[in-house]
């Protein structure tokens, strides 16, 4: 009876770990300012383990200080963006989008939704009130759970990209590895759309027009196009087979005021989810543009964010992004 009871307790314990202890974000936490080591890592050494850096955004905290912490503009006029509650809380905050293009190619052919975290941010931040630097990324199993990939083989191959990267970070940055945990994700993890269009003789004409409209629509709502990665073009240039798609590209989106209110006001770790990756693709000879992006509400759940103001801002942005896409003729699916 005792052995049976112990087995039952052990089984329940394992189940609880799975249900209530899923991994979210992995950080190397090292004493001191590791900015120089980090810059050498992402600019010179990361390609040694197959990853390519695109669209780096270093020291975003400096831009926060200029935009929200400066009362007057250079011309002497009042700064309308000045935050009267401004407090400089960060010594460093950087978004560096990386992806293992070679390893991703066969996976994107099977699971295009992986573009929701391809590229992803190898994040760095340092708070002013502690002498520690944090370098890390979302755990790959969480990326897969959010975009909805369930195929075990694809999951295994995707996750297999990360140990070499984590070993490199350990070697170059060092420190203690800390992995946060979460209990659950929202039922709706992704926003998905399709745009049906009349396919022209030259597909580039349609794409140029759509991309121009999309960029203008988001910029009108104070979003920043923080990055753009054209996987189809990259693979074609490298003579790597990617013929399933006539187009496949990923936008990186950032709402600067939202990021300031989230990252500079207490949750710089959430920067691991930024900028938001919105992938788009057209299958060969198709007249349908497929679009997907992780819901920002997944940030709140995965990072156990309890602040109601932050939570509302996330819900507002999710709703706004969906409306922007609908205004462009996208149908939510």
Q: For the whole model, what pTM was predicted?
A: 0.91
| pLDDT score for 10 | 33
The structure tokens listed for 110 are: 């099977």
Q: Which residue in this structure is represented by tokens 């000045």?
A: 82
The structure tokens listed for 287 are: 């007249």
User: Confidence band (pLDDT; 50, 70, 90) for 82?
Assistant: very high
Residues 6+ apart with CB under 8 A from 296: 273, 276, 314, 317, 318
pLDDT (mean) for 70-97: 94
- 173-223 pLDDT, tens per residue? 999 999 999 999 999 999 999 999 999 999 999 999 999 999 999 999 999
What is the chain's Cα-based Rg? Answer: 21
Contact by Cβ (8 Å): 52, 98? yes
Listed residue (301, 272, 294, 292) closest to 186, CA to CA: 301
The structure tokens listed for 181 are: 């945990």
Instruction: For residue 100, give Cα distances in angstroms to 47, 56, 74, 292.
Output: 9, 15, 42, 20
| Relative orientation angle of helices 152-159 and 140-147, to the nearest 10 degrees | 140
Contact by Cβ (8 Å): 105, 240? yes
- Average pLDDT for the chain: 93
- 96-139 pLDDT, tens per residue? 999 999 999 999 999 999 999 999 999 999 999 999 999 999 99
| pLDDT score for 231 | 98
Neighbours of 262 (CB within 10 A): 27
- Dihedral (CA of 310, 311, 314, 315) sign: negative
| pLDDT score for 21 | 76
Residues 6+ apart with CB under 8 A from 134: 27, 28, 29, 123, 124, 125, 126, 268, 269
Strand partners, 194: 290, 331
- 223-253 pLDDT, tens per residue? 999 999 999 999 999 999 999 999 999 999 9
CA–CA distance, 119 with 228 (Å, rounded to integer): 10
Outline where 176-223 has alpha helix (H): 203-220
- 5-56 pLDDT, tens per residue? 333 333 333 333 333 579 999 999 999 999 999 999 999 999 999 999 999 9
CA–CA distance, 154 with 160 (Å, rounded to integer): 10
């Amino acid at each position: 009876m005792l052995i049976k009871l112990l087995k039952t307790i052990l089984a329940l314990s394992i189940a609880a770990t799975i249900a209530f202890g899923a991994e979210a974000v992995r950080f190397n936490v090292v004493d001191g300012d590791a900015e120089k080591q980090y810059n050498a890592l992402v600019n010179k050494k990361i390609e040694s383990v197959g990853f390519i850096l695109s669209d780096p955004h270093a020291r975003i905290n400096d831009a926060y200080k200029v935009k929200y912490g400066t009362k007057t503009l250079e011309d002497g006029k009042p700064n309308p963006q000045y935050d009267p509650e401004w407090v400089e809380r960060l010594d460093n905050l950087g978004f560096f989008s990386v992806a293992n293009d070679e390893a991703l190619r066969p996976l994107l052919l099977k699971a295009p939704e992986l573009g929701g975290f391809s590229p992803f941010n190898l994040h760095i931040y340092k708070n002013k009130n502690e002498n520690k630097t944090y370098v890390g990324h979302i755990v790959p199993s969480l990326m897969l759970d959010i975009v909805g990939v369930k195929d075990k083989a694809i999951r295994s191959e995707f996750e297999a990209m990360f140990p070499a990267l984590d070993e490199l970070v350990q070697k170059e940055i060092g420190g203690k590895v800390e992995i946060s945990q979460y209990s659950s994700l929202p039922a709706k993890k992704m926003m998905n759309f399709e745009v049906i269009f009349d396919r022209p003789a030259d597909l580039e004409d349609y794409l140029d027009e759509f991309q121009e409209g999309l960029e203008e629509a988001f910029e009108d709502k104070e979003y920043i196009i923080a990055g753009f990665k054209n996987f189809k073009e990259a693979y074609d240039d490298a003579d790597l087979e990617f013929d399933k798609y006539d187009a496949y590209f990923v936008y990186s989106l950032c709402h600067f005021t939202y990021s300031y209110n989230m990252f500079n006001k207490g949750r710089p770790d959430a920067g691991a989810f930024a900028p938001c990756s919105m992938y788009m693709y057209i299958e060969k000879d198709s007249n349908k543009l497929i679009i997907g992006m992780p819901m920002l509400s997944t940030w709140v759940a995965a990072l156990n964010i309890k602040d109601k103001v932050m939570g509302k801002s996330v819900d507002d942005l999710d709703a706004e992004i969906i409306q922007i896409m609908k205004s462009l003729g996208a149908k939510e699916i």
